[in-house]
Amino acid sequence: MNIYLTILILGLLIFLSHVFNSLFDKTKIPNVLLLLLIGIVMGPLSGIVTTDFFGKLGNVFTTITLIVILFESGSGLNFKEIKKAIGSATLITVLNFFVTLFLASFLSRWLLSIDVLSSYFIGAIVGGTSSAVVIPMVKQLRMGEKSSSILILESAFSDVLCLIVGLALLDGISQGVLSVGMVLSKMWKAFVYAIALGLLGGFIWSAVISRMRSVKNSMFTTLAFVFILYGIVEMLELNGGIAILSFGILLGNIEGFAKSPRFRKVFAFESSGFNHNERDFFSEIVFIMQTYFFVYVGISINFGSPVIYGVGFLIVLFIIFFRIPGTLFLTGKGITKPEKTIMSVMTPKGLVPAVLASLPLQRGFANGEVILDLVYSIVLFSIVICSLLVILLSIKPDFFERIINRKTKQIERISNADQKNTSPDSVNTPSVD
């Protein structure tokens, strides 16, 4: 691809992303969907750009995007709202992860004749929601603090589940056996240790950040520290995403903690959070990164067998259908009905399944190509269907409620008719002479 054309397209994408954001209030079409479609047109449909063009930098770029989005979104979360949301977020994450795991594994095994461990691997890696997709959509929809916190925490927690269970199942496929105890052990360590390291990093940087501001061109030093922290945590074989989210949450709320007498007794150092300039700067970085990220995802989509894509479409429909009742029930109080309905369909897949899906093929497993095509189809359809449902629910918040009411009335009519037909008055009894 011509280098001048590449630079031209990069500039146009930023302007288009701003246009899409401004159109959202009128059209309710998330810029996620439009940027994804641009990527599909540029990549698999026209062949103007291919993933080979990016080389190994593609994986680096997607990982950096995820890090920056998690950090910036964590810094914007209110700690009081997190305490209210964490219970619901944990329950929703665990329920939807295992429901998705069993649904996707059953359908892939039944319709595509995939072996048991491979089918569970597919279910595990698509069992979560994508932070890189959910967070921009949540911000664009301007959802409440509790509902936003639940969705952001769910996306972060589910990434850990997808990674740990998915990689354990991958080892199980190669060895022919799976250790449940090993999976559970890795899971709690990944959560607890990653959170501890993220908080430790947050305390360290809160003591340093005010001094770093006196250094020239210091705005990027916070992001540099974030990258270092993520790298260290991942090298320790823990979850860097959870650590970065914890780091962002602490720095976003450190000034509130610093006012507490208990905090001052334990921590004698002067701590500082982010100022308005830094928050605006991080917000701009996230905007640029996510713009290119969704176009890259569209370019990376591989259109394989129509049968496999049909199965992927069916799996996404089942995932959303079974997500709705659990999410509506577990979200708790303090969230409006329209927000609950949007939360119930917010199940887009993204970076984690796309990366993990390529591993079986790289290792030469029997169903590697089928797994890759199926997971890519699930990623594509989950983003598209989620975006379309968000548009629909933004225009008609009571859409699901109307359907349920109609079905309820139909059932009541049928039952009333049956009662009339079987009532004593309607039965003709023979007369007795």
Backbone φ and ψ of 347, nearest 5°: -135, 45
Contact between 162 and 124 (Cβ < 8 Å): yes
C-alpha–C-alpha distance, residues 330 and 85, integer Å: 10
134 occurs within a structural domain: yes
The pLDDT score that the predictor gives to residue 329 is 85
Q: Residue range 198-227: average pLDDT?
A: 84
Give the pLDDT band (50/70/90) at residue 143: confident
428 occurs within a structural domain: no
Q: How many Å separate Cα 152 from the centre of its chain?
A: 8
DSSP 366-394: TTHHHHHHHHHHHHHHHHHHHHHHHHHHH
Write out the two tokens for 325: 């009742």
77 contact partners, CB below 8 Å, separation of at least 6: 145, 148, 149, 152, 248, 249, 252, 253
The pLDDT score that the predictor gives to residue 31 is 83
Contact between 78 and 145 (Cβ < 8 Å): yes
The pLDDT score that the predictor gives to residue 20 is 87
426 occurs within a structural domain: no
The pLDDT score that the predictor gives to residue 433 is 47
379 occurs within a structural domain: yes
Write out the two tokens for 223: 């992001």
Contact between 105 and 319 (Cβ < 8 Å): no
Domain range spanning residue 39?
Answer: 3-406
What stretch of H or E contains 396?
A: none
Share of the chain above pLDDT 90, in %: 19
Number of Cβ atoms within 10 Å of the Cβ of 147: 24
Per-residue buried b or exposed e for 68-99, using 16+ beta carbons within 10 Å of the residue's own CB? bbbbbbbbbbbeebbebbeebbebbbbbbbeb
CA angle 35–36–39, rounded 5-degree value: 90
> Half-sphere exposure (CA, 13 Å, Cβ side) for 62?
22
What's the longest Cα–Cα distance across the chain? Answer: 111
Listed residue (263, 193, 270, 291) closest to 233, CA to CA:
193
Give the pLDDT band (50/70/90) at residue 97: very high
Q: How many domains does the chain have?
A: 1
Q: How many Å separate Cα 377 from the centre of its chain?
A: 16
Q: Residue range 31-45: average pLDDT?
A: 87
Number of Cβ atoms within 10 Å of the Cβ of 46: 9
The pLDDT score that the predictor gives to residue 266 is 54
416 occurs within a structural domain: no
Residue type, 406: R
pLDDT reading at 183 higher than 90: no
414 occurs within a structural domain: no
Contact between 107 and 310 (Cβ < 8 Å): no
265 occurs within a structural domain: yes
Give the pLDDT band (50/70/90) at residue 187: confident
Please give the C-alpha separations between residue 349 and each of 43, 134, 226, 371, in angstroms, as whole numbers.
19, 9, 24, 15
Contact between 296 and 354 (Cβ < 8 Å): no
Q: Residue range 81-93: average pLDDT?
A: 86
- Please report, for the domain that includes residue 318, its CATH number: 1.20.1530.20
Please give the C-alpha separations between residue 357 and each of 16, 170, 173, 417, in angstroms, as whole numbers.
31, 10, 13, 52
Identify the residue whose tokens are 């790289």: 362
412 occurs within a structural domain: no
Contact between 359 and 118 (Cβ < 8 Å): no
Considering the chain, what is the average pLDDT of its residues?
82
Write out the two tokens for 58: 């593609």
Per-residue buried b or exposed e for 187-221, using 16+ beta carbons within 10 Å of the residue's own CB? beebbebbbebbeebbbebbebbeeeeeeeeeeee
pLDDT reading at 267 higher than 60: no
Listed residue (87, 123, 85) closest to 104, CA to CA:
123
